[in-house]
Amino acid sequence: MRISKKKIVWGIVLILLIAGGVICKKRWGVWFHNKPEPEYVLTDKPQRVILTFGNEGELSRNVSWVCGGVSRQARLEYTQIGSEDTIWVDGVSKFFKTLGGFCYANWAKFKHLSYGKSYSYRVWNDGRASNWYSFSMQPDSVDRFSFIFVGDVQDTLKGKTRNFMENIRHRFPHVAFYAFAGDFIERPMNCYWEEAYQSVDSIAICYPLIVSPGNHEYKKGIVRVLEERFPYAFSYLLESRYKDNHVFSIDYKDATIITLDSNRDPWLQFSQREWLEEALKASDKKWKIVMLHHPLYSIKGTLNNITVRWMYDSLFRKYGVDLVLQGHEHNYARMTTKQDDEMTTPVFLVSHASPKGYRLSFNEKYDRFGTNHRFYQHIEVGEDTIHIRAFLEDNSLYDDLRIVKDDSEIQIIDESRSIPEILEMPGLKGKKAEEFKQNAAKWLKRKSVQ
Ligand SMILES: [Fe+2]
């Protein structure tokens, strides 16, 4: 019996439709369901104060905060410590309603800040003021700086991130800023914003935060949308976003630091690619550091995040990006680029600080993995070296890598070889646990023959 071509085509279409329907049914909740937000009422007092970079270079700072009640006017009051002058700046106050309640989202810009000076400030809504806070600007003369990089936080309610962050703050009080690779909150709801804020409250008031948006900051749907609370909180995004891509770039000392929004649907990422190319082209700094949520080279499956890789990888290489900071996949992983068997840049890091761990799929492009722990990174950017150190939450050193660059060459110095890799997945049971054990053993064997 001969089957006509037409019937074969219709058969294939039918199979594809059925397969699509099954996948959609299975993934419906993950892709489209937004959990209802519990009701909340915010007090009238200005709260959740967050200091960030501004949009006018390394001396610019913004501040954001929220309040309940009624707000006609947001204002920022500040003074250079040791001077008599008080400066008042009008801010913006936006009524913001969500399914569980409402708040006013506020932000304002500091003006005329100077190198090496310290400032005291508080924020106002009409006649109500926050507490006083203070911060110091970086000195002009020092040609090196350091910052903390943290992957996904995504804490549970009444979670443990506060201790985690306080430990870092006490251990490294002299860093210039904190960078978070997205999924700063578990869900776009007031309760998770409050939880996340409490975990960084002592840091957010005095160190600028830079945060890339993660998928947990997005509202799900056919076309996913970043919930507006995110750019209100990290208000540099309000001016720097480009065609609905929440991107940002700042030159800090001799580095250009760029944050991308890897959550955009693939057909919307072309415009972001366009923006990235311009930002990289415009940089005349020695170091280029990019942060985004989704790892270009997935450690969950070879096809994961493939569109993000297609979009950005070639640009990172073309314009000499040194370091790529990523999150999302809830393990530690470090990959260097291999050229003639030598390690070179870009260096790709994946990290997380969440109580949730995910399954790791070994990817041979990587040098090193870490599981079942939360990690943080201290990154020092000097004249000719970027020194990356990753730590476990008990402060033990987990990774140690230097990127050394002079006019003629780039050298990678890996000091981590004597530190054993942690490859454990206690959450896995039965066949999956056995499979992971075997893959881990294979991975370690592969490393020992290199
Ligand atoms: Fe994520």
> From the CA of 154, how far away is ligand 1's center (Å)?
9
Judge if 437 and 337 occupy the same domain.
Answer: yes
> From the CA of 263, how far away is ligand 1's center (Å)?
9
Judge if 110 and 55 occupy the same domain.
Answer: yes
> From the CA of 359, how far away is ligand 1's center (Å)?
14
> From the CA of 214, how far away is ligand 1's center (Å)?
5
Q: What digits encode the pLDDT tens for the residues 350-377?
A: 999 998 888 899 999 999 999 999 999 9
Judge if 101 and 156 occupy the same domain.
Answer: no
> From the CA of 348, how far away is ligand 1's center (Å)?
17
CB-CB neighbours of 64 under 10 Å: 27
Q: What is the mean pLDDT of the chain?
A: 93
Residue where a domain stops, chosen among 115, 136, 157: 136
Tell me the backbone φ, ψ of residue 338, rounded to 5 degrees.
-105, 130
> From the CA of 329, how far away is ligand 1's center (Å)?
7
pLDDT score recorded for residue 446:
82
pLDDT score recorded for residue 202:
96
Asked whether residue 2 carries a pLDDT value surpassing 90, the answer given is no
CB-CB neighbours of 445 under 10 Å: 9
Q: What percent of the chain clears pLDDT 90, i.e. is strictly above it?
A: 82
Residue where a domain stops, chosen among 136, 156, 174: 136
Judge if 300 and 318 occupy the same domain.
Answer: yes
CA dist 283 and 198 (Å) reads: 35
> From the CA of 244, how far away is ligand 1's center (Å)?
19
> From the CA of 315, how far away is ligand 1's center (Å)?
23
Could you tell me which residues come within 8 angstroms of residue 397 by beta carbon, excluding any fewer than 6 positions away? Answer: 389, 390, 391, 419
> From the CA of 388, how far away is ligand 1's center (Å)?
23
> From the CA of 179, how far away is ligand 1's center (Å)?
15
From the centroid of its chain, how far is CA 7? 50
> From the CA of 232, how far away is ligand 1's center (Å)?
20
> From the CA of 400, how far away is ligand 1's center (Å)?
25
Residues recorded for the chain: 450
Judge if 152 and 106 occupy the same domain.
Answer: no
Domain housing 411: 145-445
Tokens encoding 395: 């402060």
- For the segment 401-408, the average pLDDT, to the nearest whole number, is 92
> From the CA of 15, how far away is ligand 1's center (Å)?
31
Q: Among positive and negative, which fits the CA dihedral 187, 334, 250, 320? A: negative
Return the residue matching tokens 């369901």. 33
Question: Band of the pLDDT at 14, cuts 50, 70, 90?
Answer: confident
> From the CA of 213, how far away is ligand 1's center (Å)?
9
> From the CA of 218, how far away is ligand 1's center (Å)?
10
- For the segment 36-63, the average pLDDT, to the nearest whole number, is 96
Judge if 234 and 117 occupy the same domain.
Answer: no
Q: Across the strands, what pairs with 248?
A: 259
CA dist 323 and 280 (Å) reads: 13
Q: Which CATH number covers residue 127?
A: 2.60.40.380
CA dist 376 and 390 (Å) reads: 6
In a domain, 30, yes or no: no
> From the CA of 221, how far away is ligand 1's center (Å)?
16
pLDDT score recorded for residue 8:
86
CA dist 399 and 412 (Å) reads: 13
> From the CA of 293, how far away is ligand 1's center (Å)?
7
> From the CA of 328, how far away is ligand 1's center (Å)?
4
In a domain, 12, yes or no: no
Cα–Cα distances in angstroms (integers) from residue 82 to residues 37, 86, 420, in the given order: 45, 11, 50
Asked whether residue 48 carries a pLDDT value surpassing 90, the answer given is yes
In a domain, 118, yes or no: yes
> From the CA of 261, how far away is ligand 1's center (Å)?
12
Judge if 173 and 108 occupy the same domain.
Answer: no
- For the segment 202-215, the average pLDDT, to the nearest whole number, is 97
- How wide is the angle at C-alpha 427 spanned by C-alphas 391 and 161, nearest 5°? 40
Q: Are 50 and 233 in contact (CB under 8 A)?
A: yes
Question: Band of the pLDDT at 268, cuts 50, 70, 90?
Answer: confident
Q: What digits encode the pLDDT tens for the residues 96-135?
A: 999 899 999 999 999 999 999 999 999 999 999 999 999 9
Q: Are 265 and 223 in contact (CB under 8 A)?
A: yes
Pairing of strands 177-180, 145-150: parallel
Tokens encoding 92: 């913006």
CA dist 192 and 430 (Å) reads: 34
> From the CA of 97, how far away is ligand 1's center (Å)?
25
CA dist 401 and 140 (Å) reads: 27
Judge if 212 and 84 occupy the same domain.
Answer: no
Q: How many domains does the chain have?
A: 2
> From the CA of 52, how far away is ligand 1's center (Å)?
22
